[in-house]
Structures are given as C-alpha cells and as structure tokens.
Amino acid sequence: MGSEPTWSDDGWWTAARRIDSPNHGPRPDAVAIELVVLHSISLPPGEYGGDQIERFFTNRLDIAEHPYFERLRGVQVSAHFVIRRDGEVLQFVSTERRAWHAGRSQWAGRDDCNSWSIGIELEGLEGERFEPAQYAALVPLLRALRRRHPIRAVVGHEHVAPQRKQDPGPGFDWAGLRRRLRWSPRRFPAAT
C-alpha cells in the first residue's frame, strides 16, 4: 500500500513530475488561494503526446518547428499543473507562487484571478472530450489542493475570461467531476 502524495513546504506536489518554469511571480501579501481555473492546451492544436507544452512553459519552444508556433513568439505563460492525456501530472510553478495562466480575468466580483488561483491545464482541445485518465488524475489533485489551500471554487478559463477564452469548453465533463469529487454544487460554475 503506497503512501498518499504530499506537499513540500514550498508548494510542490510529490505526485507530479516537477518542471520549473521561469514564468511566475510573487502572490500579493495576505491573499488566500481560493480558486482553481481549468484550461485546455495542445501544441500544435489537436496534437498530443509531445514535449511542446513543456518547452512552451519553460520558454524553450522552437517557433520554427511548426507554422502555428509563430503566433507564440515572445509569449511567456505558465500554469501550475498540466495533466497529460495519459493522466501524468506535471507541475511547473509552486502553488505558493503566481503562475501566468488566466490573463485579464474576473470571478465572483474579483479581478486578477492569477493572484488568487491555481491554474491547471488539461492536454486537449477546447470542445473535444478529455480522457478518463485525465479525470482520474484531476480528482486527487483537486482534493490535495483543497487540503492545502482554502479552495472555494473550480471554474474554467471560459468562466473567468468569457470574452476571450472558450476552454476547456463543452467537451469537459463538469457533471462527472462534481460527482467524483462530491463537493457542493456551489463550488462550480452555475451553468455546468
């Protein structure tokens, strides 16, 4: 019987493969981490399994590798976690730090979601379905985050930046996630 994954003192989850991104900053003083923002990503769009996401979040993506990558020239972003199609969890930024994932955003009357949220990217394309292995990895990660931080809500990027973003999109199974977690419906977007 294995032991339950734990947290390092500085915000790294032992169940995730650590890949340090330089794209982060300090959180504002005395701000509680109360929100999780779910995203979807694939590079290039619709292609899975490569290391392009890892290279993108660590500023090592070769933009000459694919025509789509030209639009990413000079872009510096990150998320705290990425969940691959096979369920592998990668962590790029400590949960104690402010990752650069939500951009201009607002939830429950509060702006700048990056300052008070955790960003989780699911390898996938907005509107397409996600893999059972990804939900199987997402549930324990969300539970672990809630044990470490006072998480009040789990939302999509589409909910915090509706004029700009559409991910994770209609392919994401919000009802299934709620059933698996057994958390109050108040912790999720009303329309899910």
134 vs 138: CA distance, rounded Å: 6
CA distances from 175 to 46, 153, 191 (A): 24, 14, 10
81 vs 46: CA distance, rounded Å: 19
Q: Is 4 an active-site residue?
A: no
Helix 174-181 × helix 132-148 angle, to 10° = 50
**Termini Cα distance of the chain:** 36
Q: Which two tokens stand for residue 32?
A: 């509680």
Options 47, 65, 70, 121, the catalytic residue:
121
Which residues are tagged catalytic?
121
